[in-house]
Amino acid sequence: MHYSVYEFYTRDEIERDWLVSILSDYDFEGFEETSESLKAYIPLEKVAGISVKEILYDNELHHLEFSSQQLENKNWNEEWEKNFEPVVIADKVAIRAPFHAAFQTEFEIIIEPKMSFGTGHHATTASMVQGMLKENFENKTVLDFGSGTGVLAILAEKLKAKHIVAIDNEEWAYNNCLENVERNNCYCIKTIKGDDTFGFSETFDIILANINRNVILKNIAYWKNLLNASGILMVSGILQSDEKDIVSEAKKNNLNVKDIIRNNGWLAITFKPI
């Protein structure tokens, strides 16, 4: 597959993390950090459908300088896998690729990288995992909204949830999730390609959304309507500076903060109905 690479010139770790979170929602499939910049990779056929300047402007990052170039055709999944390292979260959850040795942790999740966001390396995903370990998933129904690789849905099943729906609007994420669900021998996960226009006929005990600030603000009311009265909503992809806005919108929809996990400038917040 042919790719283009966009290079964003910033040394700021928070800005880099924020860019990864944002660009993952715009068909960017891989990221690489250098000492001076963040490189973001996108399939060449997807470039015409985006405006990087508008994305930066909409997310208050218009001050960033960037450049782009088309790359030679090569097996970029193979290149990405070379740099994929296993990660252990809270000493309980190991996330590794099939080519890594097994871990002796309480939970192990095997993820084929395929340039996907949501492998556990980013602070937002790690915080979601930490938050999930605090909650009771046994016999619960779960919605993983913006499921990406499916790592959170897979963990939900390992935590004994009885029914999980993993939904993502990206074709590559949907396919990667299907593969990873099968790879981890999961049987309770239904994978869907769709977005917030998808008509659910069920409600959920737990809703997980590791996305970004704008999508969270847009969908809090929607998720509240899908949440059972005694359920919880767990969201991540939030900078600490966005905490006030997210909490305020949640309160408008009769959701109170149950727990907050802070990790390297990022937040994962768990809400419960009032």
Least trusted range by pLDDT, from 144-148, 184-188, 197-201, 232-236? 197-201
Mean pLDDT of 2-15: 87
The tally of CA atoms less than 13 A away on the side-chain side of residue 140 is 26
CA distance 122 to 126: 6
Please state which of the four CATH numbers 3.50.50.60, 1.10.3720.10, 3.40.50.150, 3.40.50.300 is assigned to the domain occupying 118-273: 3.40.50.150
CATH 3.30.70.260 assigned to domain 3-74? The reply is yes
Tokens of 258: 């149950």
The tally of CA atoms less than 13 A away on the side-chain side of residue 214 is 11
Provide the pLDDT for residue 66.
Answer: 94
- CB-CB contact of 240 with 265 (8 Å): yes
Q: Is the pLDDT of residue 117 over 50?
A: no
Tell me if domain 3-74 and domain 118-273 are identical in fold: no
Give the model's confidence band at 113: pLDDT under 50 very low, under 70 low, under 90 confident, else very high.
Answer: low
Q: Phi/psi of residue 7, each to 5°?
A: -110, 120
- Percentage of the chain lying above the pLDDT 70 cut: 92
Give residue limits of the domains in the chain. 3-74, 118-273
| Rg, the chain, Cα only | 18
CA distance 64 to 52: 11
51-60: pLDDT as tens digits? 999 999 988 8
To which H or E segment does residue 81 belong?
A: helix 76-82
Provide the pLDDT for residue 83.
Answer: 61
Give the model's confidence band at 263: pLDDT under 50 very low, under 70 low, under 90 confident, else very high.
Answer: confident
Q: Is the pLDDT of residue 115 over 60?
A: no
CA distance 40 to 101: 29
Provide the pLDDT for residue 77.
Answer: 60
34-43: pLDDT as tens digits? 888 888 888 8
CA distance 159 to 194: 25
More confident residue, 117 or 227: 227
Q: pTM to 2 decimals?
A: 0.79
